[in-house]
Structure 1
């Protein structure tokens, strides 16, 4: 009898049919006020079910105590690139949090909001995908093509966003507190006597960049520093962007520079050197992320550390809960960053 039961279970998995028995399927359909075929489509994450109907069926499944079997074990991580060490580190930590739940991460480096992002999802969505993680991809861009999340939502796949979410599709979001990050950086430079403090900001419409600008302006105003918006320069999150933005801030007389990424901050090193100045003797520089190599830069870079481990822990817990059909709060979780002091900041020369 045991062998027969096992064979039957195996047959159900191979055929793709719901593990719910016909009686339970009927009970769920009655609770939700839909047909058994609709319940089956929701269970198997098929097209053709509205978001409202899908939510009603999922609620009925929770009422009968149903938990999805883990025959789907792939979690797709969509991330901008792996050249930036912070994204590689974050993907690795998330993978480590998923493994104990029997889940496997598939890391897809994409340009956010691009056709490539959609193609990754379209090609993998029917290959045992249990959930999607938007790791600083199209979820961080206000004006990006959001058709990829529309596809994910239409199939009823659980998804989590990191560092910004989709307003049109409420779902759990876990983010580093960018307002707090800006305040930590401004506060450190202010305490060292710097009053002309500038921000190397990311592009307009990038959610983390916009939040850091907002936090920077608020932090400067709280300390009574005039016209903080004049000391915000928008550029790309890379070395050259930091170099160009820092050159402008130096011409404005900035003695403290805050980068919105470690790469931007290291680009500021180049601008300071080309101006015939030194870090930190003439100009103090702070980065953001805490990339693994910062102890080996000259001088070692002070930075605001993104809480990668805590973000990964939250994402792992949320993903495993959603896959098991357990309700989770869609309110954004803000994880507090911390400042790591190294050798790139010093008291301002004119502090006295």
Structure 2
């Protein structure tokens, strides 16, 4: 028969409330001697707390909500695994929600997420262009959750938490400058979804590098995909038709699509076209022609998000909101060459 918290309280000669506080990870008024005795008895009987009951008492569960646009992207799934590895070791579980690019349903989703008595929320959805009214509605819905919220973009939320951001503008600049330094002047850009903030920031970096080198920006050399491999594949023939000698792909998934199309059309990388990706996803360095790319420290970021989320959950004092920024790094491989 499964041992309950009442059984432990009876054997230790203390109240159920005392046992609950002694087994909690938070600071309590229970003496160290009593706490040690309770833990000893709990271990003896291999006691496992009833999480559902705990959530009723604390008004919070051992669940952390996490929201993405799409889990098919290797970069995003790797991030999810790193976060999960951290929180799972602390007895928490991630409840994943996928929401496509439809701002109208975001507040409805948040109401559903909040109904699960989550202890924190990781809002890993890409930042889009919002109207002021949409921003206010989203911020109000977030505040109503009354839990710490981690984001992967600077959403301007007023709740407790951290905005974990990456310098995508600098990444776009570094990728393009590398191609310019290799002598390329006609550089195509396979961009992601136009309404994403990360797309606009990478494009700004691309433009900065061109301007610095005295190369005129040509909007005909920029095509928009959706960050999937298939979009890179579909856009390849158009971009090559513009007589480019190099392509900056805004993520590795689209770069893989470019590789596939290049193979089909008999175009050699990097002899006929140089390619730079973005993200450094798994397999980028084991291709037949390893992909030069902009590295994002996804393991480090995922670990930080997990640990910071746990810190915010377990801290009894409100800590406000802060920003954590990561910087890009060019990983030079075989997909680019000097001309």
Shared fold, TM over 0.5? yes
Number of residues paired by the alignment?
A: 297
Give the drift of 1:103.
2.9
Q: Which residue of 2 aligns with 1:251?
A: 241
CA distance in structure 1 between the aligned counterparts of 2:68 and 2:264, rounded to whole angstroms? 34
Displacement of 1:121 in angstroms is: 4.4
Deviations 1:20-54 (A, max 9, x none): 99xxxxxxxxxxxxxxxxxxxxxxx9xxxxxxxxx
- Tell me how far apart the structure 2 counterparts of residues 329 and 152 of structure 1 sit (CA, whole Å): 14
Indicate yes or no: 2:324 matched with 1:337: no
Deviations 1:178-212 (A, max 9, x none): 01211221122122221211211112220111111
Q: CA deviation at 1:236?
A: 1.6
Q: State the Cα distance separating 1:276 from its structure 2 match.
A: 4.4
1:261 equivalent among 251, 256, 262 = 251
After TM superposition, list the pairs within 5 Å mapping 1:160-309 onto structure 2: 160-162=150-152, 164-167=153-156, 169=158, 172-227=162-217, 229-273=219-263, 276-309=266-299
Pick closer, same or farther for the CA change 1:88–1:287 going to 2, 3 Å.
same
Q: 1:316 pairs with 306, 310, 313, which one?
A: 306
1:67-216 equivalences in 2 (<5 Å)? 72-113=61-102, 121-135=110-124, 137=125, 139-143=126-130, 150-162=140-152, 164-167=153-156, 169=158, 172-216=162-206
Task: Determine if contact 1:143/1:205 at 8 Å carries over to the other structure.
Answer: no
Aligned-residue offset at 1:326: 4.1
Compared CA separation, residues 92 and 218, structure 1 to 2 (3 A)? same
TM-score, normalised on structure 2?
0.74
2:37 corresponds to which residue?
A: none
Residue 77 (structure 1) shift: 1.4
User: Do the aligned partners of 1:240 and 1:267 also contact (CA within 8 Å) in 2?
Assistant: yes
Counterpart in the other structure of 1:25: none
Moved more, 173-182 or 124-133: 124-133
Separation of aligned partners in 2, 1:315 and 1:95? 10
CA contact (8 A) 1:75 1:103 kept: yes
CA distance in structure 2 between the aligned counterparts of 1:126 and 1:190, rounded to whole angstroms: 52
Alignment gaps of 5+ in structure 1: 13-18, 22-44, 46-67
Rounded to whole Å, the distance in 2 between the matches of 1:313 and 1:276 is 41
Q: CA deviation at 1:339?
A: 2.3
Q: Contact 1:310 / 1:335 at 8 angstroms: preserved in 2?
A: no
How large is the RMSD of aligned CA atoms in angstroms? 3.6
State the alpha-carbon separation in 1 of the partners of residues 15 and 114 from structure 2: 28
Q: Which of 5, 8, 14 is the equivalent residue of 2:17?
A: 8
Q: Which residues of structure 2 form unaligned runs of 5+?
A: 1-8, 22-26, 30-54
What residue in structure 1 maps to residue 48 of structure 2?
none
Residues in 2 aligned to 1:219 and 1:334: alpha-carbon distance in whole angstroms:
22
Whether the aligned pair in 2 keeps the contact of 1:221 and 1:228 (CA below 8 Å) is no
